[in-house]
Chain A
Amino acid sequence: MKPLHQLGARRIAVGVRAREFSARDVTLAFLARVRQFDGTLRAFVDLDDERTLAAADQVDQRLAEGRQLGPLAGVPVALKDNFCQRGLPTTCGSRMLAAWHAPYDADVVERLVAADAVPFGKTNMDEFGMGSSTEWSAFGPTTNPWDATRVPGGSSGGSAAAVAAGLVPLALGSDTGGSVRQPAAFCGVFGIAPSYGRVSRRGLVAFASSLDRVGAFARQADDLAALLRVLSGGDARDATSVHDAPPDWRDDVPAGVREVRIGVLSIADVGTVGSSTGSSSTGSSSTSGSSTGVVPAAATVTEKRDCVETAVADALAASRAALTQAGATLRDAVLPGAADALAAYHLIAAAEAASNLARYDGVRYGTRVAGVNAETSARNTRGEGFGPEVQRRIVLGTMALSAGRRDALHGRAEATRQRLRTAFAELFENVDVLLSPTTPTTAFALGTRTSDPLRMYAADVLTTPASLAGLPAISIPAGHDEAGLPIGIQAVAAVGREDLLFRVAGALERAFGTPAIPTPFIEAVAS
């Protein structure tokens, strides 16, 4: 038998249920890998061996009592550090919550435990989800498992890196503008952001409530389907959750793509193919008269777009060929308004973030910095507790909602979002799935974009449209560039049609192969 860490999640669950190995054995194997490899990767911000083993023992105990175990029996699942788990620190990558312990479980944590999974520590992230590289964590960056000089993407970089390196079979992330899909692409794993409302947000610390989605990572499409099914379902305590019973997507992974109509996004909508960066003019007719140009920053966002790298364009072409080969109908597709998505996304997300983060004043919980009175203390707390990117977004978001600017900023951004929803709806009358790269480039080097926020934001240009429309979207590993860095292909479907995403993911997994664990992480664990 392969070493435990090389088994997929479903295989592990089968093994635990069949008493081939215990949940404790599995947890011990992964704990050993974290101990061995996380020094350089720094994917985890909190992982307590004793508590994690205790959770595994409970699964073994239930099995010993003769109970029927759930679909994730004994499978370790890491949580991004913005999910509340009772009694555990939940830092959101921020000094503000460095010492805050959640007093309750997130809905997804309850569901994981009910499925007999083993909650496996908390992973690193950009502060409150704001970032695309995990460099904005107050606790230092996570590195990319394929190249330690590169970023893992973000904001769910810790979860993506941990899964890619085989330190944990499954992990949860959250996706506001691409925070699951983009790191999945950079780290070479599957990452899904399901339809808005499919998974409860209760216990996910809010960044931008109308955009936040619980997402998930796995190295195999069928494992991802199994995990998403466990996470999904209505929650009476999240008014935005959808109460449809989730289908069993595991059957969709092997179902193939025959007759599936797939539109391939015209690259001209988002940038040009090339190797230089920063000079792309979109030339899209949809830029004029819409939200770009509303503020100088928005115009600059457009100018600072990345070009789609040749290797990425090639991977898209290879995916197209593979899907055609598998029986799908492929055609070119355009998405009017896609070029405006990034600016609209940043205004909406910042406005909601400024609102959601207003509660962190040090009065009731979290870090408190003294001041001569309550007001000064709150100001000092926020000045020291929040990092630079979070402060930047709060300033932008506060401005976007302020009297006199509100209509021109937040109002127009919401109008752009509405147009984009309409554009998607029209597109999905003719195709079932929209295919594009997940990101224009592969993982960039650590330290290259933190001083240039607009370049950082550009990494999300292809993921924000689906975010604004609340559509399910998946990043699928599709090979590597010349430097060996993974490339991700994104598939987007209409609300509720995750089944189509899993069919495409299954087809491309068969074409490109299940992602391997990168070389530095494949040596066998001693003992």
Chain B
Amino acid sequence: MTDTPDPEYRIVVGLEVHAQLRTRTKCFCACAASGGDGPNSRTCPVCLGLPGALPVLSRAALDLSVRAAVALGCRIAQHTWWDRKHYGYADLPKGYQITQHASPIGTDGLLRFEGGDGPREVRIQRVHLEEDTGRSIHDEERTRLAFDRAGIALLEIVTEPDLRTSADVRACLLAIRRLLRWIGVSDAEMEHGQMRCEPNVNLHIRCSADAGTGSAWTPTPIAEIKNLNSITAAARAVDYEVARQLAEWNATGTIGPGPRTTRGWSESAQRTELQRVKEEAADYRFLPEPDLPVVTCAPELAEAARAAQSELPDARRRRYIDDLGLPAEVADELTQTLALSDWFERAAGAADAPRPVAAWIVGNLALVEAAIVHRRFSAKDLGKLVRAVERGRVPRAAARRIILPEMARRGTKWREIVAREGLEMADDAEVAAAVRATVDAHPDLVETARAGRPQVLEVLVGDVMRATRGRADAAMVRTLVRGLVLGRP
């Protein structure tokens, strides 16, 4: 550490996110997008770039891309086409990647999300559809190539450099992932390579002495960080990179805008390592892809996507807080996936009581999520149970300890369990009888209570609750016991 105090600075981060679209086939051929039987089993003349083979755009990939662009609030291109991006690499079958350069499907979008300490916005520069490349697998002796990923449909989302903290980077990535899953365009599992992100990081440092540019803020060279395999790693890499750029600034004191660099995140070393310096932008010699016609139907598809789009997670979260009065953490939890959120709404409808239902779901999340997947019980089942509890017809403790676990384990209907176990609330006469019997059985405690220590009566309340197996209302039992023993409530 140097003794120099850190200068005033701000962190500037933009994201490039690649997400594998949930299509059955690859982007430009009929090969399966997943599954397969070993390396190079999911290949054909098109995705291997064999002579004479031609790409044909997957309609599903186009649909999903437009859906994503709409959900990200983008302007949709009237004319959208593909471009060939040329570079030479052994796992790039055609010597070019089919991507979108000049006419991305969506531009000028906006994503709202909950940042580290409040609501945030990030502008979306562009959303486009492109193909993945193959994979090079290096070992000591040789490099092997697998083309199963080559031609898989990827959505690329590029944000403006609007993020200012690593916590916001993390929150933004979580929000993008949640949105992509929510609208069904990607499974976005980073550990399965279905989502990749490359943050572009630099600092703007307050530098009053910079007479050269006349600007009070001097940018450090932008570093693009690759090899990130989790959202946590992305946040850590940003933290590391901020510290590194700051240290470099402190050491040299003069670094200004320089060449962009590419740095790789090393998970084992927990640091970024220099991969290459881009002295000038690589010349990709973009050529409009002559094998694919210009697409003019994106606005129509967008119209359909808008009509079919369900409420998006951020809006839904807001509504849960503002209209349903749910606590923010509960609203967060319930809007993690569209399936859970929709399930909650159905349950809340059946119970006619959103807040208790929300509490029940969040309090038993693992059970509920398993129930959704395995269809053990329905949202309506849970809603009706919660309603019965809220109306005092089913004991709360029994519902939590006995009924819900059995519903989740066996799929038994809750009414059945209640009937079988005799779990309906005890009626007044039964409660009164139980109270009398308990009081009669403990003259010693009665005496102690009457002698000025009424708190011992709680033992009797507990006994009554046990005797009724929780089927009585504890407050009512307490009143009855006190009335009987002390002659007052």
Residues of A with Cβ closer than 8 Å to B? 82-84, 90, 92, 97, 100, 102-104, 106, 201-206, 208-210, 236-240, 351-352, 354-355, 357-361, 363-365, 374-375, 378, 398, 401-403, 406, 410
Contacts and interface: CB of A to CB of B under 8 A. Distances in A.
A160 B196 CA distance: 53
Interface stretch (B51-59, B310-318, B332-340, B372-380): B51-59
A237 B52 contact: no
A402 B88 contact: no
A239 B290 contact: no
Contacts of B55: 239
B287 A351 contact: yes
Nearest to A97: B51
A100 B45 CA distance: 13
Given A239-B291, A364-B48, A402-B283, 5 more contacts: A83-B52, A237-B54, A239-B54, A360-B95, A361-B90
A106 B52 contact: yes
Contact of A364 (B84, B93, B285): B93
Contacts of A100: 51
Contact of B88 (A203, A206, A361, A364): A361
B84 A238 contact: no
Contacts of B50: 102-104, 365
B292 interface: yes
Interface of B: 45, 48-57, 84, 86, 88, 90, 93-96, 143, 145, 281, 283, 285-287, 290-293
Nearest to A208: B290
Nearest to B48: A364
B365 to A, nearest CB: 47
Contacts of A406: 285
A128 to B, nearest CB: 9
A401 B83 CA distance: 12
Given A103-B45, A398-B285, A402-B283, A202 B52 contact: yes
B93 A355 contact: no
Given A202-B52, A359-B94, A403 B283 contact: yes
Contact of B56 (A97, A239, A375): A239
B285 A205 contact: no
Contacts of A92: 51
Contact of B57 (A104, A201, A239): A239
Q: Which of B49, B53, B93, B96 has the most CB of A within 10 A?
A: B53
Which 10 A-B pairs rank lowest in CB-CB distance, beginning with the nearest?
A358-B95, A210-B290, A401-B285, A209-B290, A205-B51, A203-B52, A403-B283, A205-B52, A359-B94, A84-B52
21 contacts: A83-B52, A90-B52, A97-B51, A106-B52, A202-B54, A203-B52, A204-B52, A239-B54, A239-B57, A239-B292, A239-B293, A351-B287, A354-B285, A355-B84, A355-B287, A358-B94, A361-B95, A364-B48, A364-B145, A401-B287, A402-B283
A237 B56 contact: yes
Contacts of B286: 401
Contacts of A359: 49, 51, 93-95
Given A202-B54, A203-B52, A205-B52, A240 B45 contact: no
Nearest to A210: B290
A146 to B, nearest CB: 32
Contacts of A236: 56
Task: Determine the main DSSP class of A at the interface with B.
Answer: loop
A362 to B, nearest CB: 10
A331 B291 CA distance: 38
A303 to B, nearest CB: 29
B438 to A, nearest CB: 81
Contacts of B49: 359, 364
Nearest to B293: A239
A168 B435 CA distance: 110
A210 B53 CA distance: 14
Contact of B53 (A202, A240, A360): A202
Contacts of B94: 358-359
Contacts of B287: 351-352, 355, 401, 410
A413 B96 CA distance: 22
A238 B293 CA distance: 10
B356 to A, nearest CB: 55
Given A103-B50, A352-B290, A358-B96, A238 B88 contact: no
A208 B291 CA distance: 10
A374 B293 CA distance: 34
Contacts of A363: 90, 145
A138 B396 CA distance: 87
B93 A201 contact: no
A52 to B, nearest CB: 21
Contact of A84 (B51, B88, B285): B51
B453 to A, nearest CB: 89
Contacts of B88: 358, 361, 375, 378
B56 A374 contact: no
Nearest to B147: A364
Nearest to B283: A403
Nearest to B28: A239
A469 to B, nearest CB: 15
Contacts of B90: 361, 363, 374, 378
A243 to B, nearest CB: 12
A240 B291 contact: yes
Given A102-B52, A202-B53, A355 B86 contact: yes
Contacts of A375: 88
A456 B286 CA distance: 29
A357 B88 CA distance: 12
A359 B48 CA distance: 10
A355 B98 CA distance: 11
A97 B290 CA distance: 23
